């Protein structure tokens, strides 16, 4: 890790030394060949159970590169799927409304309540007549009145229950059931995404450069599991001296000399920094400004796809 952090500093210092050898009027930018490094990280702390591709292999987008243990997350997905089925069944039940058997039972309850009310009313009337003749007590009359009123209330309750079944589900209850279904489906989609992330596939075409974890290890969340070198051809990452920065723009064609190749390769500037990579600690007078370096990336053509990373390269500047 420390070496990777110090590497840009070493390269910049090396380039400064070489530029000094060329002189302030030198028209060469120095650097190395590189490719985009794509780090595929772990989204869960699980055991690494499969590494089907070996390091150094060229892979296509979508190729399986690593598999984390999905057992626990699969159980979570199954539970979320069951919740979706439960919500669907509840919504269907509310949409279909009451069964005919429930309505028939409610009608029978209404009929029974009516019969009880008729009997209670007749009993109350009889006790009322007897009380008027003085043959029964006031307490018995009050009890008969209470029974009649209770039977009347029971009848009204049974009638309201019947009307509720006939009217069907309230629109508000349907809206609640639909919202619960949507929430459970969203939760299922989230858990399925977490499950799919345990299967690590190549996000771009490239070369499998590094597998930091060994088979059987429990990886930590956020740590790289696979490192790809993406793209076919490399690019030259070079340090442009300050006097030449104003002459270079994205899209410019420049000649790239690679160590070990006799002829230069024409590349295209794909990016150049707007800020210097190396800023002296002293005041930037005219002579000191020339020491500033701007990082640039010059993309090589597809015909250079066999060139390795890390090879020194020099770019001829305008």
Q: What tens digit of pLDDT does each residue of 110-129 get?
A: 888 888 888 888 888 887 88
pLDDT band, very low/low/confident/very high, at 22 (cuts 50, 70, 90): very low
- Reported pTM: 0.67
pLDDT at 66 over 90: yes
pLDDT at 26 over 70: no
pLDDT at 152 over 70: yes
pLDDT at 2 over 50: no
Cβ atoms within 10 Å, residue 17: 10
293 sits in which H/E element: strand 293-299
Q: Which domains does the chain have, with CATH numbers?
A: 2-69+202-316 (2.40.30.170), 75-191 (1.10.287.470)
Report d(CA 93, CA 85) in Å as an integer. 12
Those residues whose C-beta lies under 8 Å from the C-beta of residue 91, and which sit 6 or more positions away, are 174, 177, 178, 180, 181
User: Residue 253 has which token pair?
Assistant: 């064609």
Could you give the 3-state DSSP secondary structure of residue 170?
coil
């Amino acid at each position: 890790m420390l070496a990777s952090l110090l590497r840009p500093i070493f390269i910049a210092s090396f380039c400064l030394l070489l530029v000094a050898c060329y002189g302030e009027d030198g028209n060469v930018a120095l650097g190395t060949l590189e490719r985009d490094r794509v780090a595929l990280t772990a989204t869960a702390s699980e055991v690494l159970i499969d590494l089907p591709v070996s390091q150094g292999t060229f892979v296509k987008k979508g190729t399986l590169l690593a598999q984390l243990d999905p057992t626990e997350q699969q159980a979570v997905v199954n539970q979320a799927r069951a919740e979706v089925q439960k919500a669907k069944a509840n919504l269907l039940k509310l949409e279909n409304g009451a069964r005919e058997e429930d309505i028939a039972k409610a009608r029978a309850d209404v009929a029974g309540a009516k019969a009880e009310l008729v009997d209670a009313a007749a009993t109350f009337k009889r006790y009322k007549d007897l009380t008027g003749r003085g043959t029964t007590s006031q307490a018995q009359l009050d009890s008969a009145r209470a029974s009649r009123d209770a039977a009347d209330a029971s009848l009204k309750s049974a009638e309201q229950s019947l009307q509720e079944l006939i009217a069907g589900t309230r629109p508000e209850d349907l809206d609640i059931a639909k919202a619960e279904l949507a929430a459970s489906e969203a939760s299922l989609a989230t858990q399925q995404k977490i499950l799919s992330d345990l299967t690590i596939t190549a996000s771009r075409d490239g070369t499998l450069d590094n597998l930091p974890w060994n088979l059987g290890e429990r990886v930590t969340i956020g740590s790289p599991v696979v490192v790809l070198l993406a793209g076919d051809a490399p690019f030259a990452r070079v340090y442009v001296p300050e006097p030449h920065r104003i002459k270079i723009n994205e899209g410019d064609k420049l000649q790239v000399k690679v160590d070990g190749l006799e002829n230069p390769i024409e590349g295209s500037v794909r990016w150049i920094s707007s800020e210097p990579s190396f800023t002296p600690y002293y005041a930037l007078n005219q002579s000191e400004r020339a020491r500033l370096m701007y990082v640039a990336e010059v993309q090589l053509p597809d015909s250079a796809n066999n060139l390795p990373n890390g090879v020194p390269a020099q770019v001829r500047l305008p």
